[in-house]
């Protein structure tokens, strides 16, 4: 039995392609594996806080040294880290903004990449602590950035997401692209159909 953490990062509602695909995927997953459980978080519409001085001060001191502001900031971060640890599967839907991830998702990453909680630093260097997890990342993009093409360098989402989750120890990541969404109705429909089909295969 798996526990899924499903996070939507688009601030758009019904018009969001990434949100729609993730919703369909999780619904199909639940229909196929009814015993699996899901925690849902909508950071697109309800963003997590940005890091603050109180947060940073708290991370590098012990709880007995925390100000009330640090305690509050770290409580939110701890909840997000606990929720992240509690899952063994992740479904993240993320739009491309300015060739990268939206600030909403970056704020989430900043909250969960925590020394001593999701990674450690010792004599050997950095070590991720979160292992044996599987991640599906659904990316919605207006353009296309195919591997090996000159435009690939504009896709700063894929390499960053691989790097940051790899840093925490998660390397089993499937990327599903709904791309070319701004390139006309036909391309858009084909892109959505192809992402749907890839996601359907993953459920099976």
List of residues contacting ligand FMN (CB under 6 A): 10, 12, 16-19, 95-99, 140-143, 181-182
Q: Which residue in this structure is represented by tokens 């925390």?
A: 66
Whole-Å CA distances, 145 to 134, 149, 152, 163: 24, 7, 4, 18
Q: Which is nearer to ligand FMN, 90 or 105 (CB)?
A: 105
Q: Which two tokens stand for residue 16?
A: 């969001």
| Distance of closest approach, residue 97 Cβ to ligand FMN, in angstroms | 4
Q: Which is nearer to ligand FMN, 54 or 107 (CB)?
A: 107
Q: Which two tokens stand for residue 50?
A: 């940005």
Q: Which two tokens stand for residue 67?
A: 């100000």
| Distance of closest approach, residue 96 Cβ to ligand FMN, in angstroms | 4
Q: Which residue in this structure is represented by tokens 């950071």?
A: 43
Per the CB < 8 A criterion, the answer to whether 48 and 107 are in contact is yes
Per the CB < 8 A criterion, the answer to whether 39 and 5 are in contact is yes
Q: CB burial class (10 A; 0-12, 13-18, 19+) of residue 107?
A: middle
Q: Which is nearer to ligand FMN, 30 or 188 (CB)?
A: 188
Q: Which is nearer to ligand FMN, 24 or 36 (CB)?
A: 24
Across the strands, what pairs with 95? 140
Q: Residue 85 has what DSSP assignment?
A: H
Q: Which is nearer to ligand FMN, 16 or 158 (CB)?
A: 16
Q: Which residue in this structure is represented by tokens 């360098």?
A: 153
| Distance of closest approach, residue 23 Cβ to ligand FMN, in angstroms | 11
Measured CA to CA, the distance from residue 110 to residue 112 in angstroms comes to 6
Q: Which is nearer to ligand FMN, 113 or 198 (CB)?
A: 198
| Distance of closest approach, residue 118 Cβ to ligand FMN, in angstroms | 26
| Distance of closest approach, residue 151 Cβ to ligand FMN, in angstroms | 9
| Distance of closest approach, residue 169 Cβ to ligand FMN, in angstroms | 27
């Amino acid at each position: 039995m798996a526990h899924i953490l499903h996070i939507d990062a688009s601030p758009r509602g019904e018009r969001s392609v990434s949100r729609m695909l993730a919703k369909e995927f999780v619904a199909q997953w639940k229909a196929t594996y009814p015993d699996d459980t899901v925690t849902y978080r909508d950071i697109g519409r309800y963003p997590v806080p940005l890091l603050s001085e109180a947060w940073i001060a708290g991370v590098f001191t012990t709880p007995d040294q925390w100000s009330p502001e640090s305690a509050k900031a770290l409580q939110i971060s701890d909840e997000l880290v606990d929720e992240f640890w509690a899952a063994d599967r992740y479904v993240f839907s993320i739009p491309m903004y300015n060739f990268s991830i939206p600030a909403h998702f970056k704020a989430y990453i900043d909250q969960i990449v925590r020394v001593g909680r999701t990674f450690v630093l010792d004599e050997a260097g950095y070590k991720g602590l979160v292992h044996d997890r599987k991640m599906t990342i659904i990316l919605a993009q207006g353009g296309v950035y195919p591997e090996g093409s000159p435009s690939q360098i504009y896709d700063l989402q894929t390499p960053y997401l691989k790097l940051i989750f790899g840093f925490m120890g998660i390397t089993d990541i499937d990327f599903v692209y709904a791309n070319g969404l701004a390139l006309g109705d036909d391309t858009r429909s084909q892109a959505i159909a192809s992402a749907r089909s890839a996601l359907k295969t993953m459920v099976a």
